[in-house]
Amino acid sequence: MLDYQTALTQLLSTLELRRPSIQSTPLHQAQGRVLAHDIKAQYDSPVFDNSAMDGYALHLGHSHSNNTFELTGRIAAGDDASAHELLCGQAIRIFTGAPLPAGANAVVPQESAQVEHNQLKCEPQLGQHIRRRGEDIQAGDLLLAAGQILNPAAIGLAASQGYAELPVYAPLSVTVFSSGNELQEPHNNALAAGAIFDANRYQLLAWLHQLGCHVVDGEILPDQRDETEKRLHDAANNTDVILTSGGVSVGEEDHLKASLEAIGVLQQWKLLIKPGKPFAWGSIQTSTRMSTVMMLPGNPVATFVTFKMLVEPALRVLSGTSTHKAQPAHLKAQASFSLHKTEMRREFLRGVMRCDEHGVLHVEKLSNQGSHMLSACAVANALIEIPPNTTVNAGDVLTIYPL
């Protein structure tokens, strides 16, 4: 059995070689997509020297000893300033964002100046309130690096440089299956004897929508080997990724692992983590594509934890993010609980983190930690990592993964 970090490293390095195709997307559809190439700045930013205030631009010179300037005109945002030039002792009405005329070396906000008969009175400092050409970005600089997840600010930055489209990786297509004869759809709400509602598929579909994947609902697989193999193969023909939950442990009604071995390659099965021990991954090669398969354990909390700690990073790498950036983000927090654990598996407890009035992060473990107890996942805002064979005392510093 692999420990968590080795498993994550192996999974991500396998997937790094399976990058999706590259396409061009208009900016309004770029949110959440992964940039496929480096993008360079096409312009200096600011594009030209301009005013940071509504007020007056002026030419402050050594030869000009008093605080009075002669007003010569007006430049608004959007105007061309090339027709204007300020000589020593001259000023011009100007507005925020308007280009500075030649000769301007200070801007005075209007509330710090008085105007009388075309004369401006103020006490300017050389260079004040001027936004210099290129002080943020210079033409040719790296604007956005390949692998960056495009967020609203990155999209605004691309627009500010005149990009209307960006090269991004194609969205991943993912089929989601649940497995088990006991499962019933929630809309069919009279529960049959021995049946339970399918929680995992709905949980997984929601995560995948949040990640911007193209999702195919594969519905429920019966505990039947032939049917499982056929539907996995069909899904591999049609989608880049297959996620299953349940049926991956050791019982004779658990057909997922054996089915993958029969029609594809099982690369890894079983990890030293709790919950999530029977997690498996591999691939199915069909005539159309190589589909990545990840099999999540059926206990709903095991599905939750393995999704956040393994599947989400894997999907990020398959979407074009670097293996480094795809790692789950972690923080350090002081435990507000104690426990003694004699267990070989690294555990990911469901917890609530909070910052105290001194800025120190604390984490409390929720009750209901069983791997069938989904209730704690719905209120948790962090997973708490407990290494193997560990005693935790209140105040100890632990690694947590914000949710």
Ligand X SMILES: Nc1nc2c(c(=O)[nH]1)N[C@H]1C(S)=C(S)[C@@H](COP(=O)(O)OP(=O)(O)OC[C@H]3O[C@@H](n4cnc5c(N)ncnc54)[C@H](O)[C@@H]3O)O[C@H]1N2
Given the rule CB under 6 A, which residues bind ligand MOO? 274-277, 297, 299, 302, 371
Q: Which of 200, 259, 292, 319 binds ligand X (CB under 6 A)?
A: 200
Calculate helix-pair angle for 256-263, 225-238, nearest 10 degrees.
60
Residue length of the chain: 403
Q: How far is the CB of 245 from ligand X (least distance, A)?
A: 5
Q: Is 180 in the site for ligand X (CB under 6 A)?
A: yes
Q: Which of 161, 178, 259, 283 binds ligand X (CB under 6 A)?
A: 178
Q: What is the DSSP string of 289-347?
A: -EEEEEEE-SSHHHHHHHIIIIIHHHHHHHTT--TTTTSPP-EEEEESS-EE---SSEE
Question: Which CA distances in Å does 340 have to 13, 254, 385?
Answer: 34, 33, 14
Q: How far is the CB of 181 from ligand X (least distance, A)?
A: 9
Mapping DSSP to helix (H, G, I), strand (E, B) and coil, where does residue 183 land? strand
Query: Which of ligand MOO, ligand X, none does residue 248 bind (CB under 5 to 8 Å by kind)?
Result: ligand X
How many residues touch ligand X under the rule CB under 6 A: the total is 27
Query: Which is closer to ligand MOO, CB of 239 or CB of 245?
Result: 245
Query: Which is closer to ligand MOO, CB of 139 or CB of 373?
Result: 373
Query: Which is closer to ligand MOO, CB of 171 or CB of 275?
Result: 275
Q: Which of 199, 266, 271, 353 binds ligand X (CB under 6 A)?
A: 199
Query: Which is closer to ligand MOO, CB of 58 or CB of 296?
Result: 296
CA angle 206, 209, 215 (to 5 degrees): 100
Q: Which of residues 335-394 bind ligand X (CB under 6 A)?
A: 371-372
* DSSP secondary structure letter of residue 280: E
Q: How far is the CB of 336 from ligand MOO (least distance, A)?
A: 24
Distant-in-sequence contacts of 264-272, Cβ < 8 A, 24+ apart: 264/232, 264/236, 264/291, 264/293, 267/14, 268/2, 268/7, 268/10, 268/11, 270/1, 270/2, 271/1, 271/2, 271/3, 271/4, 271/7, 272/1, 272/2, 272/3, 272/4, 272/344, 272/345, 272/346, 272/388
Q: Which of 198, 240, 347, 385 binds ligand X (CB under 6 A)?
A: 198
* Binding-site string for ligand X from residue 246 to residue 285, where x marks contact by CB under 6 A and - marks none: xxxxxx--x--------------------x-xx-------
Q: How far is the CB of 8 from ligand X (least distance, A)?
A: 18
Q: Is 201 in the site for ligand X (CB under 6 A)?
A: yes
Q: How far is the CB of 241 from ligand X (least distance, A)?
A: 18
What is the distance between the alpha carbons of residues 209 and 57, in angstroms, rounded to a whole number?
A: 51
Q: How far is the CB of 259 from ligand X (least distance, A)?
A: 13
CB 276 within 8 A of CB 306: yes
Q: Is 219 in the site for ligand X (CB under 6 A)?
A: no
How many Å separate Cα 159 from the centre of its chain? Answer: 20
* Binding-site string for ligand X from residue 59 to residue 98, where x marks contact by CB under 6 A and - marks none: ----------------------------------------
Helix ranges (DSSP H) in 88-192? 152-160
Residue whose Cβ sits closest to ligand X: 298
362: Cβ–Cβ under 8 A, 6 or more apart, which residues? 333, 334, 335, 336, 353, 354, 355, 356
170 phi and psi angles, rounded to 5 deg: -60, 145
Query: Which is closer to ligand X, CB of 137 or CB of 199?
Result: 199
- The piece of 64-72, 145-153, 299-307, 375-383 that touches ligand X (CB under 6 A) is 299-307
Which residues are near ligand X by CB under 6 A? 178, 180, 182-183, 196, 198-201, 245-251, 254, 275, 277-278, 297-300, 302, 371-372
